[in-house]
Amino acid sequence: MRKINFQHGFWTVVAAVLLTSMLFSCEPYSKKHVCKNFSIEVTREFPNTNWAFEQEVLDFNFDIEDTTKAYDIAVTLLYDTVVNVLKDIPLSLTLSAPDGMKSYSTSHFLLDRKENPEIKKTGTGSTAEVSVLVYPHRKLKVPGTYTLTVYRRAEKADNYGFISLATKVTVAK
C-alpha cells in the first residue's frame, strides 16, 4: 500500500482559503458593513428615482476596528442629469460614535456642471455622480459601529432624478 503525501495539497487549500477570505472580507449585503482592506461603501437606492420627503433623513452604519488610523468619510449621489432640476442640495450631517459622542457638519451637492467640474458621467446615458468629502482625515477614537446621518435640506418634498446615495469610508492618505 502506498502512502499519500497531503502536504502539497494542504498548503494549496490553506492558500485558497486565505485568498478567498481576503477577497470576500467585505459583507456588502449585511446591515453592518465591515471591510478588512478598508474601503467601506454603503448605498441606499431611491425608489422610482425619487429622493422623497420620507427619505429626507438617511442613516448609514459602518464598523471601525482600527482606531490608530484617520479616515476620509464621503457621500456620493448618483443621479439622472436630464430628470433632475435642482442645482444644489444642502446637507446637514451627524457622525455618531459608539460612545454616544456626535459631531456635526454641513455640506452640499453642487449639481451644476458649469460650477462643479468634478461631476463624473457614469456609464451610458444621462447618469452622473458627484461626491463630497464631509469628514476629511477624521480620527475615529472608539472602535465599534458609527452612524452617519444625512439630512437633505432641499426645498422640494419630492426630488425626482436621484438614483442612490452612498457613503464611503476609506483610510486617509
Give the start-to-end residue ranges of the domains of the chain.
7-171
pLDDT digit string, tens, across residues 85-109: 888 999 999 999 999 999 999 999 9
- Tell me, which fold does domain 7-171 have in CATH? Jelly Rolls (2.60.120)
E-strand stretches of 5-119: 39-45, 57-64, 70-80, 88-96, 102-110
**Closest among 144, 146, 120 to 132, alpha carbons compared:** 120
At residue 3 the predicted structure's pLDDT band, cuts being 50, 70 and 90, is: very low
pLDDT digit string, tens, across residues 41-63: 999 999 988 898 888 899 999 99
Enter the C-alpha cell of residue 161. Answer: 432624478
